[in-house]
Amino acid sequence: MSGYYAFRGEESIAFESTLERDFLVRVDFDLDVLGVISQPCEIPFQHPITGRWYSYTPDYIVYYQLGDRHYDDYPKPLLVEVKPQAAWRKHWRDWLSKWKAALRYAKEQGWTFHLYDESRIRDTAFDNITFLMRYKRMTFPPEESREVLNTVQKMGVATLDYLLARHFMGIYRAEGISHLWHLLATRQLDCHVALPFSPFTEVWVPEYES
């Protein structure tokens, strides 16, 4: 399966498998991510047995926001190879030389290099993200959204249960749950998405870089 993923609803980024698509879903949701480039570079490497030279193209490079970090602690870009676990376990001896070349190349550029398989992509965070996506296109009264966001902004951190009790009591609770999921899906609220969702999930208003 191949196609293009609309990163942040704007830039089209190519993927060549469902696992690559799911990786893009993960990084798209991450507010620390500034951008992603598909097949960003070609890295020469030598086969250890035949001595022949080849070219290796990693799948993606991920760039991160500086955020509140000091410039000396700028988050390093991440060079990524996306491979199913069954594939890399079967062929790791054949692919080791190109991955070593990628590690060296990334270090020279001031980047990091990692292999991403299902264990790094299709985890609790991914399940939560895909759950939230069904609420992304829903619409709710803007004034109600502002009231919820103002409450969270003043408190710093609030639980979903508290927001439901304060803003969506009684017959409005079911709609309120969908409304909160929508605010998370559209990144107006943020949370620790790697943790299982519960009534006590803590949310906050993210700070975007200007």
Mean pLDDT by 10 residues, the chain (210 residues): 92 96 97 95 91 95 82 86 96 94 97 97 97 97 98 98 96 96 97 96 83
Contact 15, 26 (CB under 8 A): no
Please name the residues in contact with 110: beta carbons below 8 A apart, sequence gap of 6 or more. 76, 77
Task: State residue 210's pLDDT score.
Answer: 42
Q: Which pairing describes strands 53-56 and 43-46: parallel, antiparallel, or unpaired? A: antiparallel
In the chain, how long is the greatest CA-to-CA distance?
A: 72
Task: State residue 170's pLDDT score.
Answer: 93
Q: Which two tokens stand for residue 44?
A: 């020469």
Q: pTM, whole model, 2 decimals?
A: 0.90
- Candidates 64, 1, 3, 67; CA nearest to 38 is 3
List C-alpha distances in Å: 68 to 101, 125, 135, 154, 193: 33, 23, 30, 20, 20
Quick one: 155 exposed, middle or buried, by C-beta within 10 A (0-12, 13-18, 19+)? Answer: middle
CA 209/CA 63 separation, integer angstroms: 14
List C-alpha distances in Å: 15 to 3, 20, 116, 131, 174: 6, 6, 14, 21, 37
Task: State residue 48's pLDDT score.
Answer: 84
Task: State residue 99's pLDDT score.
Answer: 96
Task: State residue 198's pLDDT score.
Answer: 96
Q: Which two tokens stand for residue 42?
A: 């070609």
DSSP 33: E
Which amino acid does the sequence have at 39?
Q
Please name the residues in contact with 170: beta carbons below 8 A apart, sequence gap of 6 or more. none
DSSP 8: T
Contact 130, 25 (CB under 8 A): yes
